[in-house]
Amino acid sequence: MRVSYLIYSFGLILTYFGILVCSPIIFSVIFHEYYSMLPFLFTAILAISFGYILKKIGIIKGVKNLNDIKRNEGLFIVTTSWVLAGLTAALPYYFGGMSFIDSLFESVSGITTTGATILTNFAQPHAVLFWRCFTQWLGGMGIIVLFIAILPQFAVAGRQMFFAESPGPTEDKFTPRIRSTASSLWVVYAGLTVLEIILLIIGKMPIFDAICNSMGTVAAGGFSPNPESTMGYHSNYITWVIMIFIFLAGSSFNLQHRAYTKLNPLLFWKNEEFRVYFWIFAGISILVITSLVLNDHYKIFEAITHGCYQVISLMTSTGSASVDFAKWSFESQVLLFLAMFTGGCASSTGGGIKIVRWMLLYKMMRMALRKIIHPNAVINVKVNENIVQPDVLHQTIGFVMFYLAIILFSMFVITILEQNIVIGISSSVTSIGNIGPGFGHIVGPMSSFASMHSLSKFILVFNMLIGRLELIPFLVFLEKDFYNFKFD
């Protein structure tokens, strides 16, 4: 890896991320909270200055563009950039008075769209509340994907970084150029955000809250300026609007782009992954609704509203809450815990293992059984009638194994630190799945992670980052052959 290219890339990303840090200042001015702009100004100045210095060093070393960037360099840049973004996004919290670990936890929870929070007091300046949701919105579609869409320096080099940031088993690009793909994704993403804002305002949600909640919803993040999340608005209309957009956030944005541009909603149902996504949602929802009626004594409409909301919220890793589901019966909570493991579709803002990986695992098991009966048969695994290559199947198995291994390790350590196995299991699953709230009095939907041990928070920060990047970019850091730096 050429160090000069890495330095130049980090300089670009820090510079432009520093510019984005200035966004909350708008709300400091609108709400006359001028004191709240200082942490963002300090952070922006630091990020832009440091980024400028790194860019200059890269130029001095002879870097003119990033057109010939290699795959391992792309992986390194993407992974390190997310760490840098998390540290930079933490500075406004830190300058505002939070401890370093709490600042890092809140910022990484934001950019990874996890939605877990350490806030216990939501009487924060509007700039801070906006920053929490804005970081989720930036991280939802991907920080690097955004820069590929808007920065000419990444126009050619973007391919390696695009797939490093979205390393799922389906790498379909629907336009000839990666920059066009990134731009198209962001157009759909921004369009859904604006549409949700309008619909929430129609439902009499305050404009500021509508902006923040829409950014958190479309990003499948779940942060809200209301301490009680969606429940705090006491409106079935708002609950259903947010639920619909959570469902869209968990479906493929590539598929949505095709359906919207061709004006053909039937394309959704023709997609195998979307059908599985829908039926899993419907199936778990029916079970939860039944449990709520029988065990929690909900009325039918309330059971449908809150049951469907919580299932899709946890399936897609959004994690927002229309009720305090930690108070539901044991049977209802077990079903929600099951939903946490499903994930959204590939190329969505949803986290977790992803529907397509579960499909591949299921099809591989069927293939193995059929091979026992017909050992000489040639059997291929297909998704949407396309043959899935063996290396993708092997990567899927490796992904799930590492995913579960990290959960088990985190669960073991956090359980010891917190002296509570429910917190250990719940926080480990929700952090690596970028879900946010879990079960228990500390990590529940209406609770805060603030009282957790500092080491527990650090482990969860690590889980959130590797979960957002879907493990692969981080796992390659364990290979010694990956570290082949060239100081030219």
pLDDT digits (tens, 9 = 90+) for 416-431: 999 999 999 999 999 9
* Residue with more model confidence, 216 or 481: 216
Closest to 269 measured CA to CA, from 280, 281, 254, 259: 259
Q: Which residue has the higher pLDDT, 317 or 1?
A: 317
**Residue 163 scores a pLDDT above 60:** no
CA distance 147 to 419: 43
What predicted TM-score, i.e. pTM, was given to this entire model?
Answer: 0.91
332 pLDDT higher than 80: yes
- pLDDT at residue number 185: 82
* pLDDT value for 170: 54
Share of the chain above pLDDT 90, in %: 58
CB 114 within 8 A of CB 86: no
Is residue 200 predicted with pLDDT exceeding 90? yes
Largest CA distance in the chain: 74
Whether residue 201 is predicted with pLDDT greater than 80 in this model: the reply is yes
Residue 168, pLDDT above cutoff 70: no
The whole-number pLDDT of residue 382 equals 86
Instruction: Count CA within 13 A, CB hemisphere, residue 174.
Output: 16
Please state, in angstroms and rounded to a whole number, the distance separating the CA atoms of residues 104 and 473. Answer: 21
pLDDT at 384: 84
What number is the average pLDDT over the span 157-182? 55
Distances (CA, A) of 88 to 20, 21, 136, 140: 11, 9, 14, 17
Q: Which residues of 412-427 are buried (b: 16+ CB within 10 A; e: fewer)?
A: ebbbebbebebbbbbb
Give the pLDDT confidence of 257-312 residue by residue, as tens digits. Answer: 889 988 999 999 999 999 999 999 999 999 999 999 999 999 999 999 999 999 99
Q: What pLDDT is recorded for position 444?
A: 84
Q: With contact defined as beta carbons under 8 Å apart, do 336 and 311 qualify?
A: yes
Dump pLDDT digits (tens) for 47-79: 999 999 998 998 887 787 676 777 777 778 888
What pLDDT digit, counting tens, does each position of 136-162 carry?
999 888 766 666 655 555 555 555 555
| Overall residue count recorded for the chain in this entry | 488
Render pLDDT for 350-380 as a digit per residue (tens, 0 to 9). 888 899 999 999 999 998 898 888 888 888 8
pLDDT band at residue 484 using 50, 70 and 90 as cut-offs: confident
Q: What is the mean pLDDT of the chain?
A: 88
pLDDT score of 178:
62
